[in-house]
């Protein structure tokens, strides 16, 4: 698309990109350099939930995109845990001259194979998830799968059913909730209950207005 725009400048009045841009991408080159050269990096990271800025010293290993946001995948030297850091929350990035010698054996292609988003997967196991979708929404999900494990299991004139094998993370639950009444989780029961609780809490908030 960029090449087409460069070759034909008049396309700019015909092709419109999303105006909402992710923040933090200015760190991309420095982080890519640090990963390639195994450089220790230091930065301040802001936690939206706790509203706290914390100092981090990490061994950077990879970069991952999720829902138009970029994340740094790194080992925190404080506790030796693998973590993800949103680039939009990284400040005062410093790429050290010091190299880390540890040889990590993470296979991130496999690590994120059954993941949706970049949530910590250490405490969860992938499992089968069944969805029932309205015909209208199901056609969209069919043409643009939510995950690589997506399989179509059943179809009726009114509905399309899909099966997934992934971690039932908070990110995935938020994705399902974004479809409203058009998509319903049938299994696993734990995820069904979590979604029901979230919907009830949302309804209660509107009833208070």
Q: Report the pLDDT value the prediction gives residue 181, as an integer from 0 to 100.
A: 94
What pLDDT, in 10s, does the model give residues 1-21? 667 667 776 776 777 777 777
In 3D space, the residue among 98, 69, 103 whose CA is nearest the CA of residue 84 turns out to be 69
**Domain 18-106, what fold?**
SH3 type barrels. (2.30.30)
Q: Is the pTM of this model over 0.85?
A: no
Share of residues in the chain with pLDDT > 70 (%):
92
Where does residue 153 rank: exposed (0-12), middle (13-18), buried (19+ CB within 10 A)? exposed
Average pLDDT, the chain: 89
What pLDDT, in 10s, does the model give residues 76-134? 999 999 999 999 999 999 999 999 999 998 888 888 888 888 765 566 688 999 999 99
Q: How many CB atoms lie within 10 A of CB 194?
A: 15
Domain boundaries in the chain?
18-106, 127-207
Dihedral angle sign, alpha carbons of residues 167, 172, 177, 181: negative
């Amino acid at each position: 698309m960029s090449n087409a725009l460069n070759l034909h400048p008049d396309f700019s009045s015909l092709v419109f990109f999303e105006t909402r841009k992710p923040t933090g991408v200015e760190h991309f080159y420095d982080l890519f350099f640090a990963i390639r050269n195994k450089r220790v990096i230091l930065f301040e990271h802001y936690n939206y939930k706790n509203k706290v800025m914390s100092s981090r010293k990490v061994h950077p290993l990879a970069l991952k995109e999720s829902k138009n946001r970029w994340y740094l995948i790194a080992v925190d030297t404080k506790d030796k845990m693998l973590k993800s850091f949103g680039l939009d929350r990284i400040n005062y990035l410093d790429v050290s001259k010091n190299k880390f010698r540890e040889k990590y054996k993470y296979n991130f292609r496999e690590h994120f194979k059954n993941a949706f988003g970049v949530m910590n997967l250490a405490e969860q196991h992938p499992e089968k998830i069944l969805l029932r979708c309205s015909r209208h929404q199901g056609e969209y999900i069919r043409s643009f799968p939510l995950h690589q494990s997506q399989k179509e299991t059943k179809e009726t004139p009114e509905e399309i059913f899909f099966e997934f094998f992934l971690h039932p993370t908070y990110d995935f639950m938020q994705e399902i909730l974004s479809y409203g009444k058009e998509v319903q989780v049938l299994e696993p029961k734990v995820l069904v209950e979590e979604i029901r609780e979230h919907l009830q809490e949302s309804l209660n908030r509107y009833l208070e207005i």
